[in-house]
Amino acid sequence: MDLSIILDSSSSLWWENNAQDDHAWQETMNFTVRLFDALVDVDPASRVAVINFNDDAEDVTGGYLDGTKLDDLKTAVYAIDYAGSPRQNPDGSLGYQSKTNTCKAFQTVKDMPGRDSDHQHVILLLTDGKISGGDPGPCESKTTVLADEFKNDDTLVFSILVTSGINFYPTYVEDFVAPQIRGIVSKPNFFQMVSQYADVVATDFIRSVAEDLACQN
């Protein structure tokens, strides 16, 4: 498979459990690296690309890398400059990369060169936030359109929603965030909501993806 992992690095990951630290972002990176190891173990011919997004989006791996580039994949992830923590503005105030520009992230995946037509494509969105890049309405609808285009092209779209940074707004999560993310995955069971990424066993997750791919063939 060619796996596109989309990482949310917005500022809500700084507010884990209503406290200011970057543990949730560190765990996002650690979980991503565990996915790499699991993927090489379960599907050695697979390749991975990583897209990081907040107010903007970027391809941090330079396209799809295979298991022989495992160290390069890990280095690229841990080298991401986390923009969610407070940055001092010129006027002395603190600024945050507060948006979750999911539509730009999906567009970045679409525009990435080098996907192998012989590999099945899988997108995994790791996020904790409501789609809010640019004007929320247009970005949400554009994300849905892009996700539908991928699904129509036999791409499987998964998402894991982590709530550690937004769990002090439980109604917001249930009423607004979760329905948005559920709306872009390929099947209802391709969506998981967890309090932290440590709740997900990377190897089990990758094996379940491989099984879903096998069923699709």
Residue count (the chain): 217
**Pairwise CA distance, residues 134 & 56, whole Å:** 9
DSSP string, 131-167: --SSSHHHHHHHHHHHHHHHHHTT-EEEEEEE-TTTT
pLDDT band at 37 (very low <50, low <70, confident <90, very high): very high
Domains, in order of start, for the chain = 2-216 (3.40.50.410)
Q: In this prediction, what percent of the chain has a pLDDT beyond 90?
A: 53
Of 141-145, 154-158, 195-199, the range with the highest mean pLDDT is 154-158
pLDDT digit string (tens) for 75-128?
A: 999 998 876 555 555 565 555 556 678 999 999 999 998 888 889 999 999 998
pLDDT at 51: 96
pLDDT of residue 52: 94
Q: Is the pLDDT of residue 15 over 90?
A: no
CA 148 centroid distance within chain: 17
pLDDT band for 17, please (50, 70, 90 cuts). Answer: very low
pLDDT of 211 over the 50 cut: yes
Q: pLDDT averaged over the chain?
A: 84
Least confident of 48-57, 104-113, 126-135, 188-197: 126-135
Provide the percentage of residues in the chain whose pLDDT is more than 70: 81
Per-residue pLDDT at 22: 56
What letter would DSSP give residue 173?
A: I
| pLDDT of 23 over the 60 cut | yes
Determine the pLDDT at residue 188: 94
Q: What is the pLDDT of residue 169?
A: 60
pLDDT, residue 153, reads: 93
C-beta of residue 33 within 8 angstroms of C-beta of residue 40: no
